Amino acid sequence: MANVLFCPVTFNLAETTRMIQVARALDPRHHPVFMGYEDDFVSLITDAGFEYRACTPSWSKAERAQAIAFDQGRAIRTPFTTELVSARVEVERGLIRELDAPVVVTGSNLTSYISARAEGVPLFYPVPFALTLAQVEQTRHMEFVRGSGRLARAADRVATSVFRWVYTRAPLAPRAFSKVAKANGVPPLKTVASLLTADRNLLTEMAWELDGFRIPDGFERVGPIFAHVDAPLPPIVEELAAASAPLVYLALGSSATRALALEAARALGTLPVTVVAPIRHYLEPGDVVPPNVHVTDLLPAHRLGGLVDAAVLHGGQGTVQTACATGVPFVGMGLQPEQTWHVRACERRGNAIAVSPKHVSKPEFIDAVQRVLTEPAFRIAAAEVREAYALEDGAAVTARLIEAEIGRR
């Protein structure tokens, strides 16, 4: 029996649920232990029956927003001070030693990349392919500039080249990481890519999403991993599904904004549909949505297959994969390059339409929703994708890799 330490960013919904799925897939002889600094989605961990260690120092709401903006490439400033990074590394190293953990499983908890290495413990990272070092180094078009014309494609290629240099070569990692890494006997982390490249990078993708890419050493495909929230569907969902109007699922994960949630809800309110929207965590007292939009808390979205007719998603891999696995065609609004990549991959597959979040209040968005609801090709493609997903289990593959490493150690 071994203690396996999981270090998700616990205010990131997809990351937290991805690790819960891996922990569930481990051999029962092993003991998963989760740690984190913020409490946003900790209840999902404890409700799943796993031990959780609340750690400090944690961030304020404003600092979390700043960290998300840095992660999405929208800001250069970060809340990663030398004091915070040093304190978190000390906490994590102590926990690794206390648990005698033979492996650490992380996400975008950046201090794990120092603490695990300082303790000589292999670091496993179940991760979407988009924005990994492997993807950025090989991608000619990140679609920073949208459009299919020659000028737009040329501009996007230039933008992608600049981004590639910034991401993989420019010494733009917060200085705290190099300083604290050196103090802990670890090679300094100087580039953004180095902050997010683990010892074992486990790509949570379908095989077709990696077509044309070379998978370098340290990277391997495991397959999709998405949330299976252990909760019943609220009665309102089945009531809405039984009504005559089409039912649309509006899900924006944990990286959207209150403004986008309200804008999307109001746009869907103009259509002859009903909407189930787990966006309550974005709204404030006094916010009003149209009467056909039913706001809920987080839902077990993996149980929505056959109940909803289409979805509107922010493009995070977790929500996209859930739609794919349940055969639901969707409109995706990538909020950053990783999310745009997920949506575009599905658009090429035929089960989705990509729309810029800037167009949510415009006819383009409404037209896209109507198309995925009414054009049979989208539902046919979604059914084919669902059949392919039924043959995949990324959580189980990841668990077997972790267990093999435990066996070697």
Residue-level pLDDT at 74: 65
Alpha helices in 72-174 (DSSP H): 82-99, 112-118, 133-138, 150-168
- pLDDT tens column, 78-110: 889 999 999 999 999 999 999 999 999 999 999
Indicate if 289 and 332 belong to the same structural domain: yes
The answer to the question of residue 73 being in a domain is: yes
- pLDDT tens column, 15-29: 999 999 999 999 999
Residue-level pLDDT at 338: 87
Indicate if 127 and 257 belong to the same structural domain: no
Contacts of 7 (CB under 8 A, 6+ apart): 34, 35, 36, 92, 104, 105, 106, 107, 109, 112
Residue-level pLDDT at 254: 84
Report the sign of the C-alpha dihedral through residues 67, 69, 73, 78, in that order.
negative
The answer to the question of residue 229 being in a domain is: no
Residue-level pLDDT at 367: 98
The answer to the question of residue 350 being in a domain is: yes
* Domains: count for the chain: 2
The answer to the question of residue 114 being in a domain is: yes
Residue 409 CA to residue 403 CA, distance in Å, equals: 10
Residue-level pLDDT at 76: 66
Indicate if 169 and 122 belong to the same structural domain: yes
Q: Which stretches of the chain drop beneath a pLDDT of 50? A: none
Contacts of 62 (CB under 8 A, 6+ apart): none
Q: How many CB atoms lie within 10 A of CB 359?
A: 15
The answer to the question of residue 215 being in a domain is: yes
Tell me which residue range forms the domain holding 61: 3-224+393-408
Indicate if 113 and 19 belong to the same structural domain: yes
Indicate if 67 and 147 belong to the same structural domain: yes
Residue-level pLDDT at 393: 97
Indicate if 185 and 74 belong to the same structural domain: yes
Q: Is the pTM of this model over 0.75?
A: yes
Indicate if 187 and 292 belong to the same structural domain: no
Residue-level pLDDT at 77: 74
Indicate if 208 and 239 belong to the same structural domain: no
The answer to the question of residue 200 being in a domain is: yes
What CATH number is given to the structural domain containing 93?
3.40.50.2000
| DSSP at 73 | T
Burial 339-353 (b: 16+ CB within 10 A, else e): bbbbbbbbbebbbbb
The answer to the question of residue 296 being in a domain is: yes
Indicate if 49 and 147 belong to the same structural domain: yes
Residue-level pLDDT at 172: 86
The answer to the question of residue 230 being in a domain is: no
Side-chain-side CA neighbours of residue 58 (13 Å): 15
Indicate if 248 and 217 belong to the same structural domain: no
Indicate if 219 and 324 belong to the same structural domain: no
Beta pairing class for 293-295 and 219-221 = unpaired
Indicate if 249 and 326 belong to the same structural domain: yes
Residue 286 CA to residue 277 CA, distance in Å, equals: 17
Report CA dihedral (190, 196, 198, 204) to the nearest 10 degrees.
-160
